[in-house]
Amino acid sequence: MRSWQWLVWSWFGLQVVLGQNFYDLDPYIIELTPKSFDKVVHQTNYTTLIEFYAPWCGYCQQLMGIMKKAGKVLDGVVQVASVNCDEPKNKKLCGRYKVQGFPTVMVFRPPKVDLSKPVSERLQLRNHASEVYQGVRKLSPMVDFALSRIKNYVKRVNGTGKLCSVLQEQRRKSLVLFSKRDKVSPIYRAVALDWLGIFDCFTIPNAKLSALAQDNQLATTNPQISQFLQETIPRQMQSKESLLVAFDTANDQYRAIECDSFTKLQISKALSENFNVTPMEGPLSKREKYLQNLRTGKEKSQKTNKIHDEP
Ligand SMILES: *[C@@H]1O[C@H](CO)[C@@H](O)[C@H](O)[C@H]1NC(C)=O
Ligand SMILES: *[C@@H]1O[C@H](CO)[C@@H](O)[C@H](O)[C@H]1NC(C)=O
């Protein structure tokens, strides 16, 4: 072996020894410790997929590639994390969740927030329910399982009349996706989590729209919004694209979210700039900075988080 090759190989060996955690260098997976666990996993409205592992275990090594892919696919939608149970400081944590074999994959599911109650009466910071993933350790069943555990706060609206009454009843600001699709994408459900308690999220398929009469119920209370809807709905009925609009009925204001692509970052930017609000979670939130640091400060782009991407 040439000496430079030897150098490269021994460098690799060194990395394997030094990087004692599997995912220290992964930009999408958070290596949890007793210090970060509760804040990352329990103090959020997001769902988390966690692998409890030991570095020496062969099945864990096999799962590593799949976890890395899952982290990427679920980015911005479900948190993906891991706990190295071989690490002495983590042993209690693994005991607390009754981890017996490696790897153990679990999903932590947030409690539902009752937004109809005033903030002071809502249950705060209740722990998430944990559930062991018993299915096949393959990418798509694991991803589907995690996605099925996202709390859904997006309400479907099935017609123009219903949309008007929903807007009229709103106590909060609302975000309406006039959607080219029937299905609610996981990313839009994540947008609803980012803005929980600030914007209520709705979706209405373009196909369910019908023209809005001039003397509709919003015309007196919200003349500007009413006019906007009268102009926009006929266009949207013909459209093959989705349109995202934020409404503030208390002030009779609306804003179509102009994005070249509907990423979580662009949506958060548009909403915070136009309505002077900051998101609870996700891009531009305080929490996101904290999470970024835990992901070892590795920069990652927000490129893939489009409303209609299909994780
Ligand atoms: C979930 O969202 C609600 C509404 O914004 C908020 O009051 C609550 O604190 C959030 N829960 C956690 C654990 O962050
Ligand atoms: C919308 O749903 C209601 C029941 O929730 C139903 O009665 C109504 O026909 C539906 N309208 C459309 C346009 O699908």
> Do 221 and 240 have their domain in common?
yes
Verify that 92 and 108 share a domain, yes or no: yes
Q: Are residues 167 and 224 in the same domain?
A: yes
What is the number of domains present in the chain? 2
Residue 14 structure tokens? 């060194």
pLDDT in tens, 192-249: 999 999 999 999 999 999 999 888 889 999 999 999 999 999 999 999 999 999 999 9
Are residues 141 and 128 both part of a single domain? yes
Distance in Å, CA 185 to ligand 1 centroid: 21
Q: Could you give the CA distance from residue 25 to residue 298 in angstroms, rounded to a whole number?
A: 8
87 falls within a domain: yes
Position 301 scores a pLDDT of 45
- CA–centroid distance, 23 to ligand 1, in Å, is 28
Query: Which residues touch 151 (CB under 8 Å, ≥6 apart)?
Result: 45, 47, 109, 110, 112, 113, 193
193 CA: nearest ligand 1 atom: 2
Closest-approaching ligand to the CA atom of 208: 2
CA proximity to 199, closest of 122, 309, 115, 80: 115
Residues 198 and 253 in one domain: yes
Residue closest by Cα to atom 9 of ligand 2: 158
CATH number for the domain spanning 57: value is 3.40.30.10
Single out the residue in 151, 171, 190 at which a domain terminates.
151
- Same domain for 261 and 173: yes
Cβ atoms of 257 and 269 closer than 8 Å = no
Q: Are residues 114 and 222 in the same domain?
A: no
CA-to-CA distance for 279 and 267, rounded, in angstroms?
A: 10
pLDDT confidence band for 118 (50 / 70 / 90): confident
Q: Looking at the structure, do residues 177 and 135 belong to the same domain, yes or no? A: no
The residue among 151, 173, 195 that closes a domain is 151
Band (pLDDT 50/70/90 cuts) for residue 45 is very high
The chain-wide mean pLDDT, for the chain, equals: 90
Q: Evaluate if residue 310 carries a pLDDT over 90.
A: no
What integer is the mean pLDDT of 173-179?
96
Please indicate, yes or no, whether residues 26 and 99 belong to a single structural domain of this protein. Answer: yes
**Section 139-148 average pLDDT:** 98
Q: Nearest bound ligand to CA 119?
A: 1
pLDDT for res 14: 47
Residues with CB under 6 A from ligand 1: 43-45, 113, 122, 124-125, 196-197, 280
Distance, in Å, from the CA atom of 228 to the CA atom of 219, rounded to the nearest integer, reads: 11
CA of 282 to the centre of ligand 1 (A): 13
Q: Is residue 235 part of a domain?
A: yes
Q: What are phi and psi of 276, to 5 degrees?
A: 55, 50
Beta partners for residue 224, in sequence order: none
Considering only CA atoms, which residue is closest to atom 2 of ligand 1? 196
Quickly list DSSP for 133-151: --S-SSHHHHHHHHHHTSP
CB 224 within 8 A of CB 218: no
Residue 310 resides in a domain: no
CA of 159 to the centre of ligand 2 (A): 7
| 110 plus 45 within the same structural domain | yes
Please tell me whether residues 25 and 143 are part of one structural domain: yes
- Please check whether residue 186 lies inside any domain of the structure: yes
Q: Within this chain, do residues 32 and 85 fall inside the same structural domain, yes or no? A: yes
The predicted pLDDT at position 213 comes to 87
| Alpha-carbon 220 to chain mean position | 37
User: Is 294 contained in some domain?
Assistant: no
- What is the best residue among 156, 158, 160 to mutate for testing ligand 2's pocket, by most ligand atoms within 8 Å of CB? 158
Report if residue 38 sits inside a domain. Answer: yes
- Report if residue 293 sits inside a domain: no
Residues in contact with ligand 2 (CB, 6 Å cut-off): 158-159, 208
What domain range is 142 assigned to? 21-151
Structural domain contains residue 47:
yes
C-alpha of residue 47 to centroid of ligand 1, in Å: 13
